[in-house]
Structure 1
Amino acid sequence: MNMFTKSSLLHLRVPFSFFLMPVFLFAAGSVVTIEWFNFWMAFVAIHLFLYPASNAYNSYYDRDEGSIGGLKQPPKVTQDLWLLSILFDVSAILLGLLVSLNFALMLFIYGMISKAYSYDSIRLKKYPIIGWLTVGVFQGAFTYLMTVMAVAPDQDILTLKVLIPAVLSSLLLLGSYPMTQIYQHEEDRSRGDKTISIMLGIRGTFIFTMLFFSLATAGFAWYYLNYFDRRIAAGFAVALMPVMGYFIKWAREVWKDQQKANFESTMLLNIISAVTLNTYFLLVFILNQL
């Protein structure tokens, strides 16, 4: 790795994969029979290679000077970052081939969509609705289905038991993603990117997220009541309490002073959400394997 600069390695933002891990654990916890080799290969391919590759490629084309997800003070982008992102993408696909050709193909598709999101000549990111839907669908439902396909190859993914939670994964992402953009309005505008958070405004972003989270919570409750039991459904509501408590507290602060919609507060919301949801989905996964 000596051929790559420290700046490029930081722009991979590998720890940021922790914030995206709930979808993988949710998917793995929704199936009964796990192929353990596939489970670990898929986990590594997605979280240690695919997501970091996407982060690096995004950083290469954004060249942010302000805070970005996982980096309060991002270092200056260097030319080797592009090559590093491609290397990580290829590594993810090669690992995916150890699972199945279909899984590797889905990793490839995800990688291409993430590039279209950032690449200057296409840049889906600059279109508020298209960019929002791209992230919500591919980090949500697509990743859910990709995970199920990998860890439970005999599972039919075209069933309501699989498709409903896949849709719920996207609802969570569609609600949470605008919040990750709320402190970047000025920098996004300077690049000509009109994100959905800019379109909604700061207060509108909070209201929008609250509506989507309410819808997703009702959907998860219905799913767990119908496909698991009341204890699992109640556990999801409990897991969301710290998230909602902080969210409401932060919203009140922002209503008084919009400068409170900053990087530090956004990252704290991400941390609380990731810790509680990862813990919950991991417990459901363990219980489902007992």
Structure 2
Amino acid sequence: MILRSTFLHLRIPFSFFLLPVFLFALALTPNLDPERIAIVFFALHLFLYPASNAYNSYFDKDEKSIGGIKNPPPVSRQLYWISLAFDLLALLLGFMINLHFASMLFIYGLVSKAYSHPAVRIKKYPFLSWFIAGYFQGSFSFLMAYVGLNDFHLDNAMNSKIIFASLLASAILWGSYPMTQIYQHEEDAKRGDFTLSRLLGIKGTFIFTGIVFSLATAGFLFYFNAYYHIQYGYDFMIFLAPVVLFFVYWFWRVIKDETMADYRHTMWLNTISAICMNVFFIYLFLKSSGVLDAVLEGY
């Protein structure tokens, strides 16, 4: 029987924040198949990402708020074994598509373990952890989803349109990642994890995120102008406007009182950002696949 604490530390709902990467890959998928879509979605969001969350929680043993859990319960040994079992289930689903997809699931699982395990603990190195987390949750996950959704070999994804899109997925993560650490400075300091947010400081984290997010937005504008139509870039900015407004409002409050850089505001930013991006990439999928136009024309 799975303990309540184990289930909480899997943080399955937290996978919602990584859903934009899957939806972006889906929007660019030329070979749509409902069965493959379901397999890739469940492999990533029900098993692989929760396995990573659980493994991270087991070794961190946080006592204060973490992403998706305001008051984390004590971890048990069961959490460790469940995280490995979820990794295995993700792999089994991966093999239902092809070896390339399963191999990428395996590599992601290994990297997520190196991120947290005390023998390696990439998490304690500010720039390395920032780069690896952003790359694997962004670009690598995008390519992994794309390979699985299309039943492709990885070679089939090695073209400028797909590589550029995958790097844009990482750009968004590289911008937002330090913000997820902004309320954990005390906990990270206790464990000796010198995160990028600790290095930048609270106000520096906001400034860094604002700069990287601005560069990512410029990248999306360039991408859509090059491969689709510039209007998609303008749509992207419109859909993400609530994120920018909340970010500016929150920064204004933090400038006055740094205690406002807390868990509650971080989760609000994450939630608003995930909702806006998920809606945009669903819109992009419906437009690029022709489904939206067909519906609007009455078919």
1:245-284 map, 5 Å: 245-284=245-284
Question: 1:45-94, CA deviations, whole angstroms, 9 ceiling, x for partnerless residues?
Answer: 00000000000000000000000000000111111000010000000000
Q: Which residue of 2 aligns with 1:103?
A: 101
Question: 1:79-137, CA deviations, whole angstroms, 9 ceiling, x for partnerless residues?
Answer: 10000100000000000111111100000000000000000111000010111111011
> For 2:285 and 2:72, how far apart are their aligned partners in 1?
35
- From the superposition, tell whether residues 130 and 19 of structure 1 become closer, same or farther in structure 2 (CA, over 3 Å): same
Specify the code of the residue in structure 1 equivalent to 2:224.
Y
- Aligned counterpart in structure 2 of residue 12 of structure 1, from 10, 13, 22: 10
RMSD value, Cα: 1.0
CA contact (8 A) 2:224 2:230 kept: yes
> For 1:154 and 1:55, how far apart are their aligned partners in 2?
28
Specify the code of the residue in structure 2 equivalent to 1:160.
S
Q: Which residue of 1 aligns with 2:208?
A: 208
- Aligned counterpart in structure 2 of residue 80 of structure 1, from 78, 81, 97: 78
Q: Which residue of 2 aligns with 1:147?
A: 145
Q: Which residue of 1 aligns with 2:119?
A: 121
Where structure 1 has 5 or more consecutive residues not aligned to the other structure, the ranges are none
Specify the code of the residue in structure 2 equivalent to 1:147.
A
Q: Could you tell me how far 1:286 is from its partner in structure 2?
A: 1.7
Q: Which residue of 2 aligns with 1:192?
A: 192
CA contact (8 A) 1:32 1:288 kept: no
Range with greater deviation from structure 2 (135-144 or 227-236): 227-236
Range with greater deviation from structure 2 (72-81 or 225-234): 225-234
Question: 1:207-229, CA deviations, whole angstroms, 9 ceiling, x for partnerless residues?
Answer: 00000000000000111112111
Q: Which residue of 1 aligns with 2:33?
A: 35
> For 1:153 and 1:93, how far apart are their aligned partners in 2?
15
CA contact (8 A) 1:28 1:148 kept: yes
Question: 1:194-213, CA deviations, whole angstroms, 9 ceiling, x for partnerless residues?
Answer: 00000110011000000000
Does residue 1:49 correspond to 2:32, yes or no? no
1:48-67 map, 5 Å: 48-67=46-65
CA contact (8 A) 2:97 2:151 kept: no
Q: Could you tell me how far 1:154 is from its partner in structure 2?
A: 4.7
Specify the code of the residue in structure 2 equivalent to 1:219.
G
TM-score of the aligned structures, taking structure 1 as reference length: 0.97
Task: Give 3-state SS (helix, strand or coil) of 2:96's partner.
Answer: helix
Q: Which residue of 1 aligns with 2:221?
A: 221
- Aligned counterpart in structure 2 of residue 21 of structure 1, from 19, 22, 26: 19
> For 2:150 and 2:224, how far apart are their aligned partners in 1?
20
Task: Give 3-state SS (helix, strand or coil) of 1:99's partner.
Answer: coil
CA contact (8 A) 1:36 1:151 kept: no
Specify the code of the residue in structure 1 equivalent to 2:260.
K
CA contact (8 A) 2:23 2:285 kept: yes
Stretches (4+) displaced over 4 A: none
> For 1:125 and 1:265, how far apart are their aligned partners in 2?
23
> For 2:207 and 2:184, how far apart are their aligned partners in 1?
18
> For 1:210 and 1:136, how far apart are their aligned partners in 2?
16
TM-score of the aligned structures, taking structure 2 as reference length: 0.95
Where structure 2 has 5 or more consecutive residues not aligned to the other structure, the ranges are 291-299
CA contact (8 A) 2:138 2:170 kept: yes
